[in-house]
Homo-oligomer: A and B are copies of this chain.
Amino acid sequence: MADSAKPHPFDAALALEPLGGDHFRGHTSAAYWNMVGPFGGITAAGILQGVLRHPALLGEPVSITVNYAAGLVEGAFELQVRPVRTNRSTQHWMVELTQATAQGERQTMVTATVLTAARRETWTQRDMPMPPGPAAAEVTRLQGRGPIAWFSQYEMRPIQGAIPRTWDGVPSALPPEEASTTRLWLRDDPPRPLDFCALCAYADNFYPRVWLRRPRHVPAGTVSFTVYFHADGAMLRAQGDGHVLCQARGQAFFNGFFDQSAQLWSLDGTLLATSTQIVYYKE
C-alpha cells in the first residue's frame, strides 16, 4: 500500500503550479523516466491534467491528441492551455508544452489538442468485446525491467506479446492480425483509483510494436498519440483500482513510421478507451 501521508507517485508527477491565465508550471518526474526522456504517457497525462485544472473547463475529456515534437529534458516545463472554443456542450483546447534552453529561449517540446464535453445520455453500444483470456491473478507479473524507471510504476501482467527475449530480427510468423499484438493486464503500482489521466497514460504503456513484429532493438519513439474516451468519470471511479486489460497492434510499418491501434477494457469487460499512435522507428 502507498504511504497515505505522501501523494501517489502518479499524482506527484502530475502536480502543476498555476501561473495565472492559461499558464501552468510542471516538472518532469524521475519516477516516470524512460530511456532518454519522460514516459510519453506521463507527458500526455500531465497535459490532460492542465486542461482539467483550468478554471474555464466544461465537461469531461472525450479525446486528446498529443504530438511529441522534441524530447523533454529533466526539469521544469510550462503548459499553455487555451480554451480556443467553448460551445454549449463541447469545448476545444490547444496546448503547448515549452521548456527554456540554457540560454533562456523557450522552445515548443509538445503540442496537443483536447476535446471536453458535457455528455448527455444517449443510446449506447460497444462493439469491441473484451477478448477472452485469463484473469489478472492467473497471469505472471513482469519482473526485473532493468533501468527504465517508469516500468516500476506499473504492474504489468502480459498475456500475449511480451517484450521479446531474443532479438533475432526474424519477423513474426503469426498471422497479420496477431503478429504485432500485445495484450496485458495493467494497473498502477501501488494501485491507484482509475481516472482520465491514468487511463490516458495506460494507453501509451505498450513498447514499440516494431520490436515485436521484427525483434530488433531499433530506436523508436511516439510522435503523435490519440486517445478517445468511451466512459465518463463516474464509470472510471467505479472501476476503483482494478486491473485494466490493454491490447495493441500495428497495421502498417513503412519507411520510418508505424501505427498502433489500442483498446482498453475494465475488469467487467467495458471498453473504456480506444487509442492510436504513430511511431518513429529506425532501419
Q: Which residues of A contact B (CB under 8 A)?
A: 62-63, 65, 67, 69-70, 84-85, 87, 89-90, 92, 94, 96, 107-109, 111-113, 115, 117, 119-129, 171, 176-177, 179-180, 213-214, 223-224, 226, 228, 230-232, 249-257, 259, 261, 263, 271, 274, 276, 278, 280-283
B251 near A271 with CB under 8 A, answer yes
Query: What is the count of identical protomers in the complex?
Result: 2
Whole-angstrom distance between the Cβ of A98 and the nearest chain B Cβ: 10
**A216–B230 Cα gap in the complex (Å)?**
21
Q: List 10 A-B contacts (CB under 8 A).
A: A85-B107, A85-B109, A85-B111, A113-B113, A119-B254, A122-B256, A122-B282, A125-B253, A226-B276, A261-B276
A90 nearest in chain B by CB position: B223
Max chain B Cβ within 10 angstroms of own Cβ: one of A94, A121, A249, A282: A94
Whole-angstrom distance between the Cβ of A37 and the nearest chain B Cβ: 14
**A263–B252 Cα gap in the complex (Å)?**
10
Q: Which of B120, B251, B276 contacts A255 (CB 8 A)?
A: B120
Q: Which of B62, B69, B213, B283 contacts A127 (CB 8 A)?
A: B213
Q: Given contacts A63-B224, A92-B67, A115-B67, is CB(A127)–CB(B176) below 8 Å?
A: yes
Q: Which of B92, B249, B253, B256 contacts A117 (CB 8 A)?
A: B256
B255 near A232 with CB under 8 A, answer yes
Chain B residues near A125 (CB-CB < 8 A): 171, 213-214, 252-253
Whole-angstrom distance between the Cβ of A276 and the nearest chain B Cβ: 5
Chain B residues near A85 (CB-CB < 8 A): 69-70, 107-109, 111
Chain B residues near A121 (CB-CB < 8 A): 255
Chain B residues near A63 (CB-CB < 8 A): 223-224, 278
A226 nearest in chain B by CB position: B226
**A189–B232 Cα gap in the complex (Å)?**
42
